[in-house]
Copies of this chain bind each other. A is one copy, B any other.
Amino acid sequence: MYHLDIEDHTARRTSADRVFVALQDAIVRGELPPGARLGETELAERFGTSRGPLREALRRLEARRLVERTPHVGVRIASLSYASLLEIYLVREALEGMAARLAALYMTGEEVAGLKALLANHEQDEALQADTAYFQQEGNLDFHYRVIHGSHNTALTELLIGELYHRIRMYRYQISAYANRPQKAFGEHQRIVEAIEARDEDLAEMLMRRHISSARQNIEKHMKENP
């Protein structure tokens, strides 16, 4: 699995940093469900630290909008509404379209090879496994992360991975944007890679925008069926 975060895991981490990473992971993995209240004392005990570092970690999660805080009351896991999710997908369409364009322009041959290898791997898995939901979802993330990194634009990468994707991942089990169309999404991935390999930046951007737009429409359909 490609590295799923941009945090620096090598440096001597402080207690607040450990708690931040652990809490973010717990939230994104769904272990702590949206709307759940987070007591400071309870969390401090759970992570084996005091309330000081814990509060610093909560402030950072608040800045990433993974938790919502009301003064003198406490923090809750942020709950993403359908409307907010669709907004994020619109932004994703613009940003990842740009990322695909830049990837077609600046990705190294090595990176392209890795991307192709990833898709080949997915093809194998898909042929083997009937229940592809989870792996497909993780593999889907891996694909997108590689394209984003391939843009070689740090600001863009930090915005997409550091801001938007954490929020989206919170809901991957609920929404499962690709659940209804795994093989379709896989085909789209292949065409995007072909465009990147051909250094066709216009096509790469267009295909990526369509790809994400399809996922968004899938969510909208899902939204109409389930209130």
Contacts and interface: CB of A to CB of B under 8 A. Distances in A.
B156 A87 contact: yes
B88 A155 contact: yes
Interface SS of A by simple majority = helix
B59 A14 contact: no
Interface string A60-89: 101111000011100000000000100110
A56 B97 CA distance: 36
A159 B56 CA distance: 22
Given A12-B72, A59-B16, A159-B159, A95 B87 contact: no
A55 interface: yes
Contact of A91 (B55, B56, B155): B155
A163 interface: yes
Interface string A168-202: 00000000000000000000000000000000000
A71 B156 CA distance: 26
Nearest to A65: B158
Interface in A1-56: 11-14, 16-17, 52, 55-56
Nearest to A61: B63
Contact of A71 (B13, B84, B98, B155): B13
A98 B87 contact: no
A152 B129 CA distance: 43
A90 B98 contact: yes
A120 interface: no
A90 B17 CA distance: 31
A126 to B, nearest CB: 32
Interface of A: 11-14, 16-17, 52, 55-57, 59-60, 62-65, 70-72, 84, 87-88, 90-91, 94-95, 97-98, 153-156, 158-159, 163-164
